[in-house]
Structure 1
């Protein structure tokens, strides 16, 4: 998730001091970055992605960005050696966003690839040992139990370069693999919305749209009551909040449209490929029955 310390981890592992690291409540990484270094005499490339529940990007935009990168990697037969999922132990509770993102992460990765995942807790310097231990046990026994059952490893990550390099080294001898999302889009030629991760996003968008519609209806009723009471200050505040809610609804509809348009483009490309194949067969004098 945003704010879990992904870029800080990579800066520690690579020794890079020029990476933009966030130090406030807003997210910092707005695009995928590839940072290369040498560990134990081997070239290692870290892929730094924006997190889900980003400050500026919707989950749809983040997934599209990651999917584009993974699809390009699949076309060039570039596999991953592992994934590091960071969770700040300083969070005093696992939010709805966190559980939602875990579901998204599992579907994007695929159960068969969870053995190549390291679940790492960060920001141990911000909690007492007792607080950290209690949260760690809850994460492992409740929220991460499925991941660990499928072979994911767990470790703590402190702020040192040594810790980051040790965690990265744990993945370097893995057999390279494709994520489930890569195989769905590359091998099976699915549109993003039809992949497991895409279906999760579409389901979330549908639920979010229903919730926003209910809230907008309630807000309209409140605006009418406030207007009748002639409370200008309250009315102005409510109107401003209503505008923000409308923007949120428009963004949700836009994200839904983006996913559907992406699927339509994929269909058009398939039709184009099939048409070209038919033309080639016709030139060779073959007969195609459809």
Structure 2
């Protein structure tokens, strides 16, 4: 499949503070870009910016969902599935030429949230799309002389078994973005080169599977993974509840509760609430079906002159 006739389509993703708006502003030369933090802020019209690099038309579009640690995996998956569907990725007539993952080099060591979000992203992309990913580290200009500590931190994420190692070993590039226009355009040029070499955009694993399973998100690879994680968490919580119930403090003589009993009741209520939340998330995932647009419907990814990104 060839890429969009009106330009190279690039997804932009990154946690809060990674510099998405700054990157888009520097790359495009536009200084009045708006910030959109949630799916709701971009459901009416997709947030995009259009510019040129070496005479090639570039369309950069915000990819929602990964920059909010307060959202559950199901909520993130729902926003990504909606985004793919509403922008007409559903019938494969809109393909990403590349994806730029921005990561602040000032971030501390890898945590559980970063590992989980990266695993979720990998399952959405599929291995065939890894080679279209550019992991661009940002915030280098905020650092003082560090004796190579931060460069070592970047390398540490690539090393075998680390958070970026699988994507990197299968074609993803890891580059330093120096917060300049030339640096941003070099990243874009690499995506252009990869797209030209493979004659167009790449189909994401989730994009393909949503068509194959008629939009039932829980039946996709990433949906199954999120569902299994939820089931594992619920099993662990139910085991915790059994342990609590088997170790209930003995009632005290009189009407006053002991400190031990009060703490036990609070802990039990907390576990019950987490079980209820997990069960709600599981039901939400099982009911999640995206709207698949007809194959001949026009793309919804429009680029008004004054439309802004991220």
Fold match (TM-score > 0.5):
yes
Is 1:34 equivalent to 2:50 in the alignment? Answer: no
TM-score, L = length of structure 2: 0.69
Q: 1:20 — aligned with what?
A: 35
The one-character-per-residue Cα deviations of 1:153-186 (angstroms, maximum 9, x if unpaired) are 1101233344333322321341212111111112
Answer 1 or 2: which has greater helix percent: 1
1 or 2 for the larger relative contact order (CA 8 Å, sep ≥6)? 2
Is 1:167 equivalent to 2:193 in the alignment? Answer: no
How far has the Cα of 1:42 moved from its partner? 3.5
Unaligned 5+ segments in structure 1 are: 22-27, 270-290
1:156-195 mapped onto 2 (5 Å cutoff): 156-173=176-193, 174=195, 175-187=200-212, 189=214, 191-195=216-220
Does 213-222 or 111-120 show the bigger shift? Answer: 213-222
Distance 1:221 1:157, change over 3 A: farther
Equivalent residue for 2:79, pick from 58, 65, 68: 65
The one-character-per-residue Cα deviations of 1:232-260 (angstroms, maximum 9, x if unpaired) are 9x959x84x77666554433222211121
Distance 1:196 1:220, change over 3 A: same
CA distance, structure 1, for counterparts of residue 282 and residue 98 of structure 2:
30
SS in 1 for 2:288: helix
Equivalent residue for 2:222, pick from 194, 197, 201: 197
Equivalent residue for 2:114, pick from 84, 87, 98: 98
SS in 1 for 2:137: strand
CA distance, structure 2, for counterparts of residue 53 and residue 18 of structure 1:
18
Structure 1 contact 29–49 (Cα < 8 Å) conserved:
no
Equivalent residue for 2:99, pick from 62, 75, 83: 83
CA distance, structure 2, for counterparts of residue 53 and residue 210 of structure 1:
28
Alignment: residue pair count: 258
TM-score, L = length of structure 1: 0.73
Unaligned 5+ segments in structure 2 are: 1-13, 293-310
Distance 1:224 1:53, change over 3 A: farther
1:129-278 mapped onto 2 (5 Å cutoff): 129-142=147-160, 143=162, 144-173=164-193, 174=195, 175-187=200-212, 189=214, 191-215=216-240, 230-231=258-259, 235=262, 239=266, 246-262=272-288
CA distance, structure 2, for counterparts of residue 140 and residue 96 of structure 1:
16
Q: How large is the Cα RMSD of the aligned pairs? A: 3.5
How far has the Cα of 1:56 moved from its partner? 3.8
Does 201-210 or 31-40 show the bigger shift? Answer: 31-40
CA distance, structure 2, for counterparts of residue 184 and residue 202 of structure 1:
16
